[in-house]
Amino acid sequence: MSDSVAVFFSAWQLDSADARLEKIKSSVTANVRYDDPRTPQTVEGIDALNDYVGMFSANAPGWTAKVVQSSSTAGMTRATVAFGGMGPDGKEMEQLGQYFVETEGDLISRIVGFVGTGTPE
């Protein structure tokens, strides 16, 4: 796995917009593009991506995002990310997402995410 992928997802749990921005800046290209089922349109650029990721920490305080499995080939990384924290019922929860990540050099240039891992439940 590319270190930039782990760094990018480690930014998701940061409450501080400045700290989150620094992590994101260190892991993505200036023209990064991001899509997932919760984005009605492509999120483009570092500032917009920082705002989008900030919504996660604001809406899921205390939750973390961690790459739990990945593989790479031909400049593309497939990463399974575990999002976890305290649910509304007071119990620990975990949700998995699958991300396909393109890089330019050591930095992420495009991320496309999916809910779940594509396996039957």
Q: How confident is the model over 16-40, as pLDDT tens digits?
A: 999 999 999 999 999 999 999 989 9
State the amino acid at position 111 in one-letter form: I
Return the CATH number at 79: 3.10.450.50
The sign of the torsion formed by the CA atoms of 93, 80, 70, 103 equals negative
The sign of the torsion formed by the CA atoms of 27, 30, 31, 35 equals positive
Element (H, E) at 10: helix 3-10
Q: Is residue 119 assigned to a domain?
A: no
**CA angle at 12 for the pair 75 and 119, rounded to the nearest 5°:** 60
Q: Looking at residue 2, what is its pLDDT?
A: 61
Q: Is residue 19 assigned to a domain?
A: yes
Give 71-112 pLDDT, tens digit per residue.
998 889 999 999 999 988 889 999 999 999 999 989 999 999
Q: Is residue 38 assigned to a domain?
A: yes
Domain extent, residue 17, equals 3-114
Q: Is residue 121 assigned to a domain?
A: no
Structure tokens at 90: 């007071």
Report H helices in 15-109.
17-25, 46-59
Q: Looking at residue 1, what is its pLDDT?
A: 47
CA distances from 57 to 25, 37, 109 (A): 17, 18, 22
Q: Is residue 120 assigned to a domain?
A: no
**In which band, very low, low, confident or very high, does the pLDDT at 121 lie, cut at 50, 70 and 90?**
low
Q: Is residue 23 assigned to a domain?
A: yes
Q: Is residue 76 assigned to a domain?
A: yes
**Looking at the 3D structure of the chain, how many domains does it have?**
1
Give the pTM. 0.90
Q: Is residue 42 assigned to a domain?
A: yes
Q: Looking at residue 17, what is its pLDDT?
A: 93
